[in-house]
Chains A and B, each alone.
Chain A
Amino acid sequence: MSVNLDSIVQVIATRFKIDASRIVPEASFDELGLDSLSQIELALSLKKDLGISISDDELAQISTVSDIFKMVNKVC
C-alpha cells in the first residue's frame, strides 16, 4: 500500500485549517505555523483518516511535508 502526497496534504489542511496550496513538499512545520504538539496531532489524524501509525521516535525525525510523505510510505 502506498499513500499519495495529495492525501497527506488533505489531512494536514483539514486538521490544521491551512490552505492546501501552502502545503508543498519543501514546506517546514515552522513555515506552516505548526509546533511540536502539532506533530502528535498530525500523527493522530494520519491514524484516524488514513489508518497509518507513526511512532513517537519516527515523529521526532519529521520537519517537512516531504519528510511526512517519506515516513508514511515507509511505515505503511
Chain B
Amino acid sequence: MQGPKIKAIVSGLGGWLPPEVVSNAHISSTLDTTPEWIETRTGIRERRRVSDGLSTRDLAVKAGRQALKSAGDCKVDLVIVASTCPDRLCPSVAPEVAALLGLGGVAAYDINSACSGFVYGLATATGFIGSGVAESVLLIGSETISPFINPADRGTRPIFGDGAGAVVFRKGSEGDPGAIGPIDLGSDGSNSGLIVIPGGGARQRSATGLGHDAEANEDWYVRMDGRATFVQAVSRMTQSAQTVLARANWECADVDWFIGHQANIRILHGVANELGLPLCKVASNIDRTGNTLAASIPILLNDMAVSGKLKPGHRLLMGAFGAGLSWGSTVLVWPDIAVETIA
C-alpha cells in the first residue's frame, strides 16, 4: 500500500530590506514624473536601495539567517539563491551565503528566473525533497537591482527596489500544513526582449570582439516594455493560477490570500478581476517595497506573517511572472511558524 506522498513543507520564514528609503518625491525631483503619477500607475510610494557596498550576498545572508531562526535553527542540506542581480558572473553567490550562515559544505547554487525566481526555486526545492536528495532546503530570493537601473529611465526607475526574503522547506507529508501543493511553471522565450538587461553576458561580449571592446552603456541597465509586459503578466498569471486551482480542486472562493509577485498593484488587481477574486484578498506591500523581483513573494509573506494578517490555516494562491518570459503558481495552506519583525 502506498504511503502519503513526500512533500516540501514551509517551516521557516525571513525577510530583510536595506535601510535607505527612496521616496516617489525623491525620484520625481530628477525625472519627468510626479509622486501621484507613480503611485496611481504602480501602487508604489517608496522602495529601498542598497548603500555602503551592500550586495545580493549580504541581503541574502540577512534574510536567510532570519528564516533559519524561524525554523528553529534546523540543519539544511541545500541552499538555493534565486536572483536576477548576481554579485558577479562567476561564481554563484549561494556557496558564499551558505558559508556566512555557518552551514558548512552543504550544496549551494543560484538560479535566475527573474521575478518568477522564487516560484521556480520553490519548485526546485520541492523536487529535491520529493526525490529524497535533500531533507531540508533554504531558498532565498535576494535582489540588488538598483545598480542595474538606468537613473534616467522613468519606465523602470520608479518600479524596482532592493531586498531579500527566505523560506526554509523541510520534508513532510501531503496534508501537513505548509505542504506545497500542485505547481505550474511556464515560459515564453519568443518574448525575451520585453524585460531584459542586454549587456554583460556572452552574447554582448561575442558580438563586440569577445568582450575586449565591450563598454558599459545603456545595455547594462534593465529595459522593459511596460505596456506589453502588463498584458502578458495578467494573462499568464491568470492562466497559471487557474491551472493550479484546478489541480488542487480549489475554487476561487476557497482562497484566503492571493500572494502574487509584487510587480505592480494594477497587474495584481487585473489578475484578481480575471479570476473573480475580491480585491480584499490581494495581499500587497508594494507601496513600501517596490518590485523586488525574486525576493518579493517571501518578503510579502514575512510582512503578512509579522503583521498578523497571515494566519495558520489560511489558504494561499501564490503566483509570479517575470522576464524570460517566465511564470509559475502554486497553492498551500499556511502553517504555524514563528516569525520576526522586518528591520
> B-contacting residues of A (Cβ < 8 Å)?
15, 35-37, 40-41, 44-45, 48, 56
A15 interface neighbour in B227, B228, B273, Cβ under 8 Å: B273
Residues of B within 8 A of A40 (CB): 227, 230-231, 234, 270
Q: Digit string of B242-278 for contact with A (CB within 8 Å is 1, else 0)?
A: 0000000000000000000000001000100110000
A-B contact pairs, 5 of them (CB 8 A): A40-B227, A40-B230, A40-B231, A45-B273, A56-B228
Q: Is B26 an interface residue (CB 8 A)?
A: no
A interface majority secondary structure: helix
The 8 closest A-B pairs by CB, nearest first: A40-B230, A37-B266, A40-B231, A37-B41, A41-B270, A44-B270, A44-B234, A48-B274
Given contacts A40-B231, A41-B266, A56-B227, contact A35 B273 (CB under 8 A): no
* Complex: chain A residue closest to B235, CB-CB: A44
Q: A35-B40, A41-B266, A56-B231 are in contact. List 20 more A-B contacts (CB 8 A).
A: A15-B273, A35-B41, A36-B227, A37-B41, A37-B230, A37-B266, A40-B227, A40-B230, A40-B231, A40-B234, A41-B270, A41-B273, A44-B234, A44-B270, A44-B274, A45-B273, A48-B273, A48-B274, A56-B227, A56-B228
Taking residues whose C-beta sits less than 8 angstroms from the other chain, chain B's interface range is 10 to 19
Q: How far is the CA of A35 from the CA of B226 in the complex (A)?
A: 14
Question: In whole Å, how far is B221's beta carbon from the nearest beta carbon of chain A?
Answer: 23
Residues of A within 8 A of B273 (CB): 15, 41, 44-45, 48
Question: In whole Å, how far is A53's beta carbon from the nearest beta carbon of chain B?
Answer: 12
Q: How far is the CA of A37 from the CA of B270 in the complex (A)?
A: 11
Q: How far is the CA of A35 from the CA of B230 in the complex (A)?
A: 14
Question: In whole Å, how far is A51's beta carbon from the nearest beta carbon of chain B?
Answer: 14
Question: In whole Å, how far is B234's beta carbon from the nearest beta carbon of chain A?
Answer: 6
Question: In whole Å, how far is B291's beta carbon from the nearest beta carbon of chain A?
Answer: 15
Residues of B within 8 A of A35 (CB): 40-41
Question: In whole Å, how far is B145's beta carbon from the nearest beta carbon of chain A?
Answer: 22
Q: How far is the CA of A37 from the CA of B226 in the complex (A)?
A: 10
Residues of A within 8 A of B227 (CB): 36, 40, 56
Question: In whole Å, how far is B189's beta carbon from the nearest beta carbon of chain A?
Answer: 20
Residues of B within 8 A of A37 (CB): 41, 230, 266
Interface residues of B in 190-246 (CB under 8 A from A): 227-228, 230-231, 234
Residues of A within 8 A of B41 (CB): 35, 37
Question: In whole Å, how far is B53's beta carbon from the nearest beta carbon of chain A?
Answer: 37
Q: Digit string of B14-50 for contact with A (CB within 8 Å is 1, else 0)?
A: 0000000000000000000000000011000000000
Q: How far is the CA of A75 from the CA of B234 in the complex (A)?
A: 22
Residues of B within 8 A of A15 (CB): 273
* Complex: chain B residue closest to A33, CB-CB: B40
Residues of A within 8 A of B274 (CB): 44, 48
Residues of B within 8 A of A36 (CB): 227
Q: How far is the CA of A15 from the CA of B234 in the complex (A)?
A: 15
Question: In whole Å, how far is B237's beta carbon from the nearest beta carbon of chain A?
Answer: 12
Q: How far is the CA of A56 from the CA of B225 in the complex (A)?
A: 13
